[in-house]
Amino acid sequence: MVANSNTSALPVPVQTLSVPGQPPLELRVWGRKVRGQSSPLVLHFHGGAFVSGDLDSGACLAELLTSAGAVVASLAYPLAPAHPFPEALEAGYAALEWLYKQRTRLAGTGAPLFVAGEEAGGNLAAALALMVRDRAHPPLAGQILVSPMLDPCNATASLRETMGQATGCKWIDGWQQYLRGPMDAEHPYAVPGRAQRLAGLPPALILTGGDDPMRDEALAYAERLRAAGIHVSSELLPPTTGWPDSLAETPTECPCAAEVRGQLRAFFQAAAPPPA
């Protein structure tokens, strides 16, 4: 059951999704069904290093996805440390199953289903694609990973460039609070970048910037997916994105918006609707 909760300060109403076995989940649906057409339907996860962020901070990518032609459901997933792995992921799966059941009402008959996220949300989107493959439902047309947070070692050259001489950062802290212990770092749903089996995943669009601390892990995951036979579209944007931090700013300030929107449109158009 979904109940609308209109708030004058927000551009789009917040809804409460009640799912058996899950605490109430808040989500915000961007965009509307176009009569006589089917639109891409996207479950979107905001960033925040697993421990922060909300529907407002995720508005930048949500609006870019919507302006590229999608209907987008942004999820306020449970945050660590109160809700460590795999609670956010299981909440995401419950929301995805609900979206699949509601796809005709929300986005039209035969609407293809996607997952998307930025930073920690990119991790959850990638992990959810693995979970959906293993559970064989619902069918996914693609995954969209923007500045994804995929490597808990935090030892890539691009991250060291950002950290300099610092021995800690918000991403290290986020991983420590999200993972319950060392063994979680070996679980493919917690750390998709280390998953041993990538075959059978849906096509992926992976976007990162030349100044993105997560640049190296994003590009490495793109290459691993390609090696597994997955169709991947990846783009290294100019070193002026300010990602992932700038993705938490207001949509009008989102850098490289025109280029990102074009990449999203092309990806949506290329993704064939999966079989029911």
The predicted-structure confidence for 218-230, as pLDDT tens digits, reads as follows 999 999 999 999 9
Q: Select from 184, 152, 163 the least CA-distant residue to 86.
A: 184
For residue 91, which amino acid is it?
Answer: A
pTM attached to this predicted model: 0.92
- Which residue has 């639109």 as its token pair? 39
pLDDT in tens, 223-254: 999 999 999 999 999 999 999 999 998 656 67
What span, in angstroms and rounded, lies between the C-alpha atoms of 165 and 222?
Answer: 28
Question: Computed from CA positions of residues 147, 192, 225, 201, in that sequence, does the dihedral angle turn out positive or negative?
Answer: negative
Contact 207, 232 (CB under 8 A): no
- Which residue has 């035969």 as its token pair? 110
Average pLDDT (139-145) is: 98
Architecture of domain 39-270: 3-Layer(aba) Sandwich (3.40)
DSSP type of residue 184: G
246 SS3 class: helix
With a cut of 50, say whether residue 78 has pLDDT above it: yes
- Which residue has 């169709």 as its token pair? 231
Contact 89, 131 (CB under 8 A): yes
pLDDT in tens, 146-193: 999 999 988 899 988 877 666 568 999 999 999 999 999 999 999 999
**Beta-strand (E) ranges in the chain?**
2-5, 14-17, 25-30, 41-45, 71-76, 113-118, 142-146, 204-209, 232-237
Strands 204-209 and 113-118, bridge-based pairing: unpaired
Domain ranges of the chain: 39-270
> What percentage of the chain carries pLDDT values higher than 90?
79
**Beta-strand (E) ranges in 24-138?**
25-30, 41-45, 71-76, 113-118
Dihedral pair phi/psi, residue 205, rounded to 5°: -115, 120
